[in-house]
Amino acid sequence: MRYLTEHWTQEELCRSSKADELGIVNLPGHQAAACLERWAVMVGEPARVLLGRPMSPSSGFRNEAVNAAVGGEKDSQHLKGEAVDFTCEDMDTAFQMLAESPIPYDQIIREHKVGKDWIHLSYTDRHDPRRQALIIDDNGTRTCQPKQGTT
């Protein structure tokens, strides 16, 4: 097992139940692996420390076949190793804490959909972080403005 930080392994950030179900090998190339490591260092580990609780990734890196199988966007940050979806205890509070933190996230999205509930957290060094905080549910999208830690 390859630890990227104290709390994050490359294997868990590439694990996909959809890939397992379909027999798809979901391994990142060199560039995506480097992006996953930057995600873990820049936002994943600081988020884990800030929250003080485990974060269970449900979707991190996705190759094109896995991304298509889950209905991901064609330009998804998951394809580049720049995003991880996770669940944790008290996700509404976790979302608020992360959105208001100085952690340099690109996007944080709290997703509530029928039968699905997760937080999407992304990081990129391709441009300045957008610090875009959104809540998406079956009724539409609401933009949330972080109150602290903005750049």
Q: Is residue 127 situated within a structural domain?
A: yes
> How would you class 106 by CB atoms within 10 Å of its CB: exposed for 0-12, middle for 13-18, buried for 19 or more?
buried
Q: Is residue 30 situated within a structural domain?
A: yes
Mean pLDDT of 77-104: 96
Q: Is residue 26 situated within a structural domain?
A: yes
Q: What is the pLDDT of residue 67?
A: 98
CATH code of the domain containing 43: 3.30.1380.10
Q: Is residue 133 situated within a structural domain?
A: yes
Q: Is residue 1 situated within a structural domain?
A: no
Residue 97 belongs to domain spanning: 10-144
- pLDDT over 70 at 15, yes or no: yes
Instruction: Give how far Cα 31 sits from Cα of 25, 34, 49, Å.
Output: 17, 5, 26
Q: What is the pLDDT of residue 87?
A: 96
Closest C-alpha to 40, from 9, 64, 68, 71: 9
Mean pLDDT of 76-102: 96
Domain count within the chain? 1
Q: Is residue 3 situated within a structural domain?
A: no
pLDDT in tens, 119-146: 999 999 989 999 999 998 777 767 776 6
3-state secondary structure of 126: coil
The model's confidence at residue 92, banded by pLDDT at 50, 70 and 90, is very high
Cβ pair 29, 37 in contact under 8 A: no
Q: Is residue 2 situated within a structural domain?
A: no
> Distance between CA atoms of 24 and 27, rounded to whole angstroms?
9
Q: Is residue 101 situated within a structural domain?
A: yes
Residue 123 makes CB contacts below 8 A (sequence gap 6+) with: 38, 39, 42, 43, 82, 83, 104, 105, 106, 129
Q: What is the pLDDT of residue 30?
A: 97
